[in-house]
Structure 1
Amino acid sequence: MADRHSWPAPALPPARATRRQALAALGAAAAACSPLAARAAPTTLQCAGAYADSLFHTRNLQQFARQASQSSQGAVQVEVVANAKLMPMKQVLAALGSGDLAMGEIFMSNFAQELPLLGVDSLPFIVRSFDDAKRLWNVTRQPISALLHKQGIRVLYTAPWPGQGLYARAPVNRLEDLKGQKLRVNNGATTFMAKAAGATPVDIPANNLARAIQDGEVDAMVTSSTTGVDSQSWNALGVFVDMRAWIPKNLVLMSEKRWAALPETARQALQAAASDAEARGWQLAQDADDAAQRILASHGTKITQPSYELRRSLDLLGERFARDWSGKVGVDGARVLIDYYAGAHKG
């Protein structure tokens, strides 16, 4: 006789599902079968932007981020954190190299001390136009990309700033016309220029420039058309010599570690967006330069091109700086300058 306790106890009847519960279950089942459920969650990449939202460089960076997201169908989301709020620019290269940061924006020549090849961007009196600056970038892209690759960093794109011109109280047709004047200096090139001209070098930060001009602390300065507008140079410096002393650039970079972790489709989307951002960035810089010069002229600034004698003096200064720089950088530096000047002769 079987033990009565060996029989399983009858199961309790299931509780009757409510209409709301039934619909929720059907919805969950449908979602699980949807193609969207199989799609991987988007990869978010933070980008350390260096400048304010209103600046054309930041607007270009934000458009790059939107395009990358759209082209990847949402697989990649680039989050631009502007105005150095994510981290100071000086920390960007190290963070990219370690993979702690996905993307970042730098002013190229700011890192010339640790990576001397990047100093080519601020060599004075080498380029005379945006076309020259673009040609210089074309011959330096590969060696700079290779140099940064060794640091674990990938170049996405570059975009320039407006060229640096000479502001003065009176016309400057020769370098000697600056003799005895207070020339604002902010790097080695302008310091040497002051000494060569017999001018008195004065160091004034950009945020105090408008007041210094108004108070007569500056007789001349080398800076961009856009900075001239920001500092209201027309209050005292009524001449602008559009000499394009140098045309510096920003680099937008990505961690190689973070790049390697992305699927090929996401990489292609980022590369295509970067290519468009570079083309757009060069045009935006020229547009900003043109707009700033129109504003300067509307306030009575006399805009001129360098005289033959002034240009010749500046060219000689440029040759000296180029020799000194290539001596520090070595073979790579000499090669890019040779390639740049060879291209000029072909043109």
Structure 2
Amino acid sequence: MRVLLPAARLAILLLSLLWLVRVPMAAAATWDFATPYPETDIRSRSAQAFAAAVGSASDGRLTLVLFANGSLVAAPQIPAALRDNAVPIALLELTQLADEAPALAVSSLPLLAASYDDSLRLWNAARPVVQRLLAARGLMVLYALPATPAALFSKGAVNTLADLQRLPLATTDSWLAALIDASGGRSVATEPGNLAAAIGGGQAKGMLVAPDVAIGANAWTLVNNAYDVKASFPLSIVAVNQSAFYALDEDSQRALLNAAVDAQNDAWSSSVDARNAQVDGLEAHRLIVQPSPLPLQEGLRQAARTVIDSWRATAGADGAAILAAFGWPAN
């Protein structure tokens, strides 16, 4: 009988054990997901669906836990928290990053995009610049989604710019305030919760806000006219901290990116559906959202050019590149 030396026995044992060894799976990760919007907001609902898709695609290796309504990080602090990796992923308004890079305000510019189709074209034109500017700040954009565009709500009929100029208008958006002022009107800056007080107290005679904001203010008790001016399509983005992303295993990274593609594909149609439902909600209270009269819309477009040109002067080469890719006139 052949006798094996101890060293040979050990070698055979080690070789046999290699067949039994399995590479351990990467440890599961749980990410807190910050959003400033309420759970019922279309953007938070999109983020929740995205989180579920990531969990499924990663086979549970990556779990995103959504904290809505600023419950994890207050809206103004989200950009800094994301850069510092205090939160690895967040949903935020793109324009929140514009203090450091003015080009990132592009989607909030009034009437640069006149429709949902225009808004998607604008995002496709802007995305390479946005990706580069965010990467320089240690961030990565996964997908974008548009807010429902603002309509004009007023106590009196508004058919022309002259009519608008007679009505102080409340708004919650600084770019829409700039549009009102450039139109020769007077903007009244306010928070969503104070719109009813501003109009009821006489400081404003109408408002330029998204339909969901108007519903929250019970607009049908405040005004009797509504016009579908579609003043802007501000984008929100889901972004991640780059260091946190690259610390994930490759399967989890792939799950995030693939789910982001699906979320991006659904974003615009979801916003259209949400806005249609909001308009239906207003009309259920007999506040009919009418097409914007042509003289009014043309006057607003001319005023918007002033706002866009002012932004262009601050946004530099990045802003010019976006406008050129979008097909906006150079002058």
TM interval, shorter chain, is 0.7 to 0.9
Task: Give the 3-state SS of the residue equivalent to 1:274 in structure 2.
Answer: helix
Match of 1:273 in 2: 259
Q: How does 1:1-347 map to 2 (within 5 A)?
A: 38-341=24-327
Deviates more, 1:264-273 or 1:180-189: 180-189
* Identical-pair percentage: 28
Counterpart contact for 2:183–2:303, Cα < 8 Å: no
- DSSP-derived class of the 2:277 partner: helix
The aligned residue for residue 14 of structure 2 is none
CA distance in 1 between counterparts of 2:187 and 2:304 reads 19
Aligned residues of 1:172 and 1:178 also touching (Cα < 8 A)? yes
Gaps of 5+ in 2: 1-19
TM-score (norm. length: structure 1): 0.83
Query: How far apart are 1:141 and its partner, in Å?
Result: 0.7
Q: Which has the larger Rg? A: 1
Q: Given residue 135 of structure 2, which amino acid in structure 1 is its aligned partner? A: H
Deviation at 1:180, TM superposition (A): 3.0
Q: 1:342 to 1:199 in 2, by over 3 A?
A: closer
| 1:163 aligned counterpart, secondary structure | coil
Change (3 A) 1:103 1:268: same
What is the number of equivalent residue pairs in this alignment?
310
**Structure 1: 5+ residue runs without aligned partners?**
1-32
Distance in 1 between the 2:190 and 2:75 partners? 21
Distance 1:73 1:196 in 2: 53
C-alpha distance in structure 2 between counterparts of 1:176 and 1:342, whole Å: 27
The secondary structure found in structure 2 opposite 1:252 is strand
Q: Secondary structure at the residue paired with 1:142?
A: helix
